[in-house]
Amino acid sequence: MNNRIEYRPFEWVPNDFSLKGTDEKVYTLEQFRGSKGLVVMFICNHCPYVKAITNQLVIDVKVLKENGISSIAIMSNDVVNYPDDSFENMKKFSERNNFNFPYVIDETQFVAKDFMALCTPDFFGFDAELKLQYRGRLNSAGKNQTSSETKNDLVDAMLLISKNGIRPEEQIPSIGCSIKWKKN
C-alpha cells in the first residue's frame, strides 16, 4: 500500500475555474491573478485551524495586496454532511471575519482535486505567470496566537517570489482538518 502524499510539482499551472463568491459574483482564476502573484487558499467555516488563523489571514492578505499579490479563498467541503460549511454560512463567516478577499464555493470539488488540496487551511502561492512556487503553511504559530517569534512563511515566501522569482527552499506543509470529500 502506498501512503505517500502526492503534491503538484513546482511550476505547475492550474486550470482556470469559475466559482461563485459570497458576494454573489463569479470569480475566475485568470481574471483574479495579481500583477506579481496569487495566493489560492482552501479554507472552510467549521475548521478550528481556520478559525484560529482568520484574524492573521486578513492582515497577511492586506500585506500581499499592497505588494501586487491577489488572494482568493475556496471552500470545497461536502456541505450536505458538513452544513456548517454551507454557502449561507460562508457568507456569515466571511462577514464576521471581515474578509478582504473573495471567498468562493467549489460545489463540485473539481478545483480542490485539480490542486490536490489536502486540508483546511491549505495554501498555494503562484508567481505572476501563475506557476506554482509555494505550497505550505500560513505561519509557524499554527492554532496559537502569533507573536514576535512567529515566522510568517506565506507572506515571506510570496514577497520573495514576487521580488526576484526565487521560491524558498524550505516549505513546511500546512496542518489542519482534512477536506471533507463527497461520498460517491
Q: pLDDT band for position 1 (50/70/90)?
A: very low
Neighbours of 144 (CB within 10 A): 11
Residues 14-53: tens digit of each pLDDT: 999 999 999 999 999 988 889 999 999 999 999 999 999 9
Question: Rg of the Cα trace of the chain?
Answer: 15
Give the whole-angstrom CA distance, residue 17 versus residue 121.
19
With beta carbons less than 8 A apart as the criterion, state whether 174 and 122 touch: yes
Give the whole-angstrom CA distance, residue 75 versus residue 41.
9
Q: Name the helix (H) or strand (E) containing 19.
A: strand 18-21
- Please tell me the predicted confidence (pLDDT) of residue 9: 82
**For the whole model, what pTM was predicted?**
0.94
Tell which residue, 77, 31, 69, has the closest CA to residue 50. Answer: 77
- Please tell me the predicted confidence (pLDDT) of residue 181: 96
